[in-house]
Structure 1
Amino acid sequence: MNALDYFNARLQATLSPMDYLMSSKKNPETYFLIDVRNGPEKLRSIIIKGSTVIPQQELHTRLDEIPMDKEIIVYCWDVWCNTAAKVAKHLLEKGYTVKELTGGIAAWQEMNFPVSNTLEENNIEGDCGC
């Protein structure tokens, strides 16, 4: 693969946080954003506003929640995490249109883009879940 092929493939498979934010504001019905991070809920409590949380480990039992008629955008922790890439590959094999959000939640937060706190939204306090 030469450099041009590499960059073309990369642009087809990824979407930057800024590009996603602008595109989703113009055409919100086009996209379905999924947080695919694994790990303790407390560590995953900050999510990109408007995303659906489907951890990678639950994906096989929750495919029915993912619309086939939208462009699926998946994200994980950071550039060093490949969970979103694994999920994207799996969804592509199932016939979905998928891109990975570059930089994950870390890049999103670094840019001060809108986030939600799932623990606050679900009125979960402390470690007991009460």
Structure 2
Amino acid sequence: MNALDYFNARLEGTISPMDYQRSKEMDPEKYFLVDVRNGPNHVKNVIIKDAYVIPEQELKNRLSEIPKDKEIIVYCWDVWCNTAAKVAKFLLERDYKVKELTGGISAWKEMNFPVSESIQKDSPIDHCGC
């Protein structure tokens, strides 16, 4: 793969927080944003505003909650976490249209974009699975 092919593929599979915000403002119904982070809720107490919380380790059992008629945007912790990439691959293999939010929740919070408190009940999953 040459550099141009690499960067085209990377841009096809990801969306930056700024691009997501801008695109969501223009077409609010286009996306379905999913927080796929694993781990205990006390470390996941903040989520991106309007995100659905479906941890990667629960995904197979909750797949019916994810619509096929929207572009799915998945995110995890930060650039060092590959959980969102694992979820994106899983969903792409099942014919969903998916992109990974670059930088995860860390980049989102760094940009001071809207967040809300997580209202998820405690999860038995206590490790991130990255």
In structure 1, stretches of 5+ residues that fail to align are 125-130
> What is the 5 A alignment of 1:1-130?
1-119=1-119
* Inter-partner Cα distance in structure 1 for 2:74 and 2:16: 11
How far the C-alpha of 1:45 sits from its partner, in A, is: 1.2
Question: What SS is found at the alignment partner of 1:21?
Answer: helix
Question: What one-letter code is carried by the residue in structure 2 that aligns with 1:14?
Answer: T
Q: Deviations over 1:23-51 (max 9, x none)?
A: 01110100000000000011111000010
* Inter-partner Cα distance in structure 1 for 2:26 and 2:52: 19
Q: Percent identity between the aligned chains? A: 70
In structure 2, stretches of 5+ residues that fail to align are 123-130
* Inter-partner Cα distance in structure 1 for 2:56 and 2:47: 15
Between Structure 1 and Structure 2, how many residues are aligned? 121
Question: What SS is found at the alignment partner of 2:7?
Answer: helix
* Inter-partner Cα distance in structure 2 for 1:90 and 1:118: 24
* Inter-partner Cα distance in structure 2 for 1:97 and 1:37: 19
* Inter-partner Cα distance in structure 2 for 1:30 and 1:45: 26
Larger-Rg structure:
1
Q: Deviations over 1:42-99 (max 9, x none)?
A: 1111000010000000000000000000000000000000000000000000110000
Question: What SS is found at the alignment partner of 1:85?
Answer: helix
* Inter-partner Cα distance in structure 2 for 1:26 and 1:54: 25
Q: TM-score, normalised by structure 1?
A: 0.91
* Inter-partner Cα distance in structure 2 for 1:76 and 1:15: 13
Runs of 4+ in 1 over 3 A off after TM superposition: none
CA RMSD of aligned residues (A): 1.2
* Inter-partner Cα distance in structure 2 for 1:44 and 1:56: 13
**Of the two structures, which has the highest relative contact order with CA contacts closer than 8 Å and spacing of 6 or more?**
2
* Inter-partner Cα distance in structure 1 for 2:53 and 2:28: 17
Question: What one-letter code is carried by the residue in structure 1 that aligns with 2:95?
Answer: G
